Structure 1
């Protein structure tokens, strides 16, 4: 995967980046750039921008001066936050409590990224925090929980880990367009009906955000849905997993 920026229209750009596990296997990562009604910009997630992608971002954002905030929506995606803070020192950085603890050198805003205060600050975006599973799992290897962000104007959904597309296009013939993160079952909270709560949340999300056309997932690739396809794909994934999750 090489770095690439996709203009998805209506002020939304998805940046596909590289992330190597153990310095070898490139599983990819992402961030997105959103233009606000004010004319200023926010990033969803952090990434170390380089080359032509960096040049395009800087051209769009007045050499970065018009970036007002960076919203780090996945508590376990922390690798590039320090570099992002250096690249956009004037921006307000929002993160989870884990971001605050893991990267204290970044000057984090007091409001957590998943707070209502941040959601109200950016009416151009819709937010949904995964339910029934840990947002910040006590097990550092479990990353299924996240804060999902939908940009209605471009019909783009930015999601890290919680929902995924098949990891390789080769697998499209045998896998649905959407899959749940493989650690979802392990991420369930130790509470009655946690599995049902998760499945009901995801089902409601499929209905509420049925207009999604651009599915931007962290460790795969950009999926383009036609009308009605996102809702159908997510419901299929949830309905398949519901028996196992509800009986966990």
Structure 2
């Protein structure tokens, strides 16, 4: 898959990349460049920039000097962290506790990426951590937990794994459902009403982020929704899954 940079307007660019699983299938990867009100930039997630996309990002950011921080929002997406930290040594790197543990060579900020401190630092963005499921599962194969990021100005939702859309199609008007990650049931916390809490959180998200137009999924590609379509589809998915989730 050829890396691409998509300008979604109002200071938000989605970077589409590659991730080859088991040396066979490219399931895709992503990052995002966000321009702050200050004129500086941040990156969402670490992804090694190469070739034309690197040139484009560098041109936008004064050869990278204007990138002030990298927010790594998925605890299990760690492959590119060390390289990106080398590429932007002046940037502040935010991650989860798992990032600190798995990539200790990076000079991580003491503030975890999911903290209120980081959310207050970047009012251009809205953040949401799923309720009822583990953000960092003790099972390394369970990747449902991630910090979701919404950029209201561009109506862009950036999400790694928690929600998915199949089939993966780039910039395609798609009528398919929003799917929950395949490991969502395994990710449920061992607590009463965990499934109910997850469903209530997701339905609340559909209401709060009703205006989502661009769905930037790590392995789903970049999907464009009609007005209100995101909320409609997420609500329908949760309503269908509620009985199964609530029973576990």
Whether TM exceeds 0.5 here: the answer is: yes
Matched, 1:13 2:42: no
1:50: which partner in 2?
Answer: 50
Alpha-carbon distance in structure 2 between the residues aligned to 1:174 and 1:61: 33
1:93: which partner in 2?
Answer: 93
Q: Which runs of 5+ in 2 are unaligned?
A: none
1:64: which partner in 2?
Answer: 64
Structure 1 runs (4+) deviating above 6 angstroms are 172-175
Q: 1:166·1:175 contact (CA, 8 Å) conserved in 2?
A: no
For 1:177-216, what aligned pairs fall within 5 Å after superposition?
A: 177-216=177-216
1:110: which partner in 2?
Answer: 110
Query: What are the superposed Cα offsets for residues 79-125 of structure 1, whole Å, 9 maximum, x if unpaired?
Result: 00011101111000000000000000000000000000000000000
Deviation at 1:174, TM superposition (A): 11
1:140: which partner in 2?
Answer: 140
Alpha-carbon distance in structure 1 between the residues aligned to 2:182 and 2:175: 14
Q: 1:167·1:219 contact (CA, 8 Å) conserved in 2?
A: no
Q: 2:173·2:223 contact (CA, 8 Å) conserved in 1?
A: no
What secondary structure does 2:13 align onto? Answer: strand
Query: What are the superposed Cα offsets for residues 11-64 of structure 1, whole Å, 9 maximum, x if unpaired?
Result: 000000000112221000100000000000000101011010000000000000
Deviation at 1:175, TM superposition (A): 7.6
Alpha-carbon distance in structure 1 between the residues aligned to 2:60 and 2:175: 37
Q: 1:155·1:214 contact (CA, 8 Å) conserved in 2?
A: yes
Matched, 1:244 2:238: no
Q: 1:176·1:237 contact (CA, 8 Å) conserved in 2?
A: no
Q: 1:36·1:42 contact (CA, 8 Å) conserved in 2?
A: yes
Deviation at 1:173, TM superposition (A): 11
What secondary structure does 1:158 align onto? Answer: strand
Change (3 A) 1:174 1:41: closer
Deviation at 1:177, TM superposition (A): 3.3
Alpha-carbon distance in structure 2 between the residues aligned to 1:53 and 1:84: 14
Deviation at 1:168, TM superposition (A): 3.5
Q: Which runs of 5+ in 1 are unaligned?
A: none
Aligned residues: 246
1:227: which partner in 2?
Answer: 227
Structure 1, 198-207 or 160-169: larger mean CA deviation: 160-169
Structure 1, 40-49 or 17-26: larger mean CA deviation: 17-26
